[in-house]
Structure 1
Amino acid sequence: MKIRPADASDLQAITRIIAAAYHKYIERIGKPPGPMIDDYANHIRHHTVWVAETKRSVLGLIVLIPEHDHLALDNVAVDPAQHGQGVGRSLMTFAEQEAARRGYTELRLYTHEKMTENLAMYPALGWQETGRSEQAGYQRVFFRKAI
Structure 2
Amino acid sequence: MEKIFTLRRASPQDAPILARIAGEAYSPYIPLMGKEPAPMGADYAGHIAQDTCFVAVLSEQVAAFAVLIQKPDGWWLETIATDPKYQRGGAGAALLARCGRFLRAEGASSYQLYTNEVMSGPYGWYLRCGFVETRRGTQDGFARIFMAKDLAQG
Secondary structure of 1:17's aligned partner: helix
Task: Tell me, in whole angstroms, the C-alpha distance in 2 between the residues paired with 1:12 and 1:119.
Answer: 26
- Residue 122 of structure 1 deviates from its aligned partner by 1.2
Confirm or deny that 1:49 pairs with 2:53: yes
Match of 1:27 among 10, 23, 31: 31
SS in 1 for 2:17: helix
- Equivalence map 1:101-140=2 (5 Å): 101-140=105-144
Unaligned residue ranges in structure 1 (runs of 5+): none
Equivalent in the alignment of 1:98:
102
CA deviations 1:85-134 (Å, max 9, x no partner) are 10011011111111101000011000000001122111111111000000
Q: CA deviation at 1:57?
A: 0.7
The alpha carbon displacement at 1:55 in A equals: 4.1
Is 1:39 aligned to residue 75 of structure 2?
no
Q: Residue 78 of structure 1: which of 73, 76, 82 is its match?
A: 82
Contact 1:5 1:47 in 2 (8 A): no
SS of the residue 1:24 aligns to? helix
Contact 1:107 1:145 in 2 (8 A): yes
Name 1:17's counterpart in structure 2. 21
Unaligned stretches of 5+ in structure 2? Answer: none
Give the partner amino acid of 1:79.
Answer: D
Runs of 4+ in 1 over 4 A off after TM superposition: none
- Match for residue 6 of structure 1 among 5, 10, 13: 10
- Asked if 1 retains the 8 angstrom alpha-carbon contact of 2:51 and 2:69, the reply is no
Structure-1 separation of matches of 2:73 and 2:150: 12
Normalized against structure 2, the TM-score is what? 0.91
Normalised by the length of structure 1, the TM-score is: 0.95
For 1:74, what is the secondary structure of its paired residue? strand
